[in-house]
């Protein structure tokens, strides 16, 4: 398996996984490689970080008590809380109009922007089937938006 760093003409960077370099070239020629952010087929390989396998395993990290750190669940909760804060701060709440507004944005009938709101399971699945990138994100009661 080959993992290549790719970039579209709009500057979006992403990873592509291919069976080989030849497989990447063949898929690109057939226009099967496209940017997951904007759908552009103008995709090029870009330099990626090199990894050297020295054969020496990395040392195991010290136990949290030895490092004076919190347990992994507390760290995960803190990171999730920070992620939610970013999303809630940078997105517009469109409430129950979320499915309709997501469609308007996807079909370029409304300005592109980050939105959030409510959608039923059926509405969520319909958006995904239409190729509209949406994600469900559980929000704890203390983090509910205004």
Distance, CA of 10 to CA of 3 (rounded, Å): 21
Q: Is residue 65 part of a domain?
A: no
For residues 26 and 81, state if they share a domain. no
Give how many domains the chain has, as a whole number. 2
**DSSP string for residues in the chain:** -EEEEEEETT--EEEEEESSHHHHHHHHHTT----TTT--S-EEE---------SPPPPPPPPHHHHTPPPHHHHHHHHHHHHHHHHHHHSEEEETTHHHHHHHHHTTSS----EEE---HHHHHHHHHTT---------GGG---
For residues 24 and 84, state if they share a domain. no
Q: Is residue 58 part of a domain?
A: no
Query: In this structure, how many other beta carbons lie within 10 angstroms of the beta carbon of residue 39?
Result: 10
For residues 134 and 91, state if they share a domain. yes
In the chain, % of residues over pLDDT 70: 78
Q: Is residue 7 part of a domain?
A: yes
pLDDT value of residue 68: 57
pLDDT value of residue 39: 87
Q: Is residue 52 part of a domain?
A: no
For residues 29 and 77, state if they share a domain. no
pLDDT value of residue 109: 95
For residues 28 and 81, state if they share a domain. no
Strand duo 13-18 + 43-45: pairing: unpaired
Low-confidence spans in the chain with pLDDT less than 70 = 1, 49-70, 139-146
Q: Is residue 117 part of a domain?
A: yes
For residues 31 and 76, state if they share a domain. no
Q: Is residue 75 part of a domain?
A: yes
Q: Is residue 30 part of a domain?
A: yes
Nearest to 125 by CA among 112, 137, 134: 134
Tens-place pLDDT, residues 13-43: 888 888 888 888 899 899 899 988 888 889 9
Average of per-residue pLDDT values in the chain? 81
Domain enclosing residue 101, as ranges: 71-141
For residues 34 and 82, state if they share a domain. no
Distance, CA of 13 to CA of 43 (rounded, Å): 9
């Amino acid at each position: 398996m080959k993992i290549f760093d790719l970039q579209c003409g709009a500057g979006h960077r992403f990873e592509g996984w291919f069976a080989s370099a030849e497989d990447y070239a063949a898929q690109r020629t057939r226009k099967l490689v496209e940017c997951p952010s904007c759908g552009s087929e103008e995709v090029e390989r870009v330099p990626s970080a090199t990894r050297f396998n020295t054969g020496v395993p990395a040392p195991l990290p010290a136990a949290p008590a030895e490092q004076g750190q919190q347990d992994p669940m507390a760290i995960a909760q803190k990171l999730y809380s920070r992620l939610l804060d970013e999303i809630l701060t940078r997105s517009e709440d469109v409430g129950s109009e979320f499915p309709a507004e997501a469609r308007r944005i996807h079909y370029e009938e409304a300005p592109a922007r980050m939105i959030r709101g409510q959608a039923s399971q059926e509405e969520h699945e319909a958006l995904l089937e239409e190729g509209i990138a949406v994600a469900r994100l559980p929000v704890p009661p203390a983090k509910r938006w205004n």
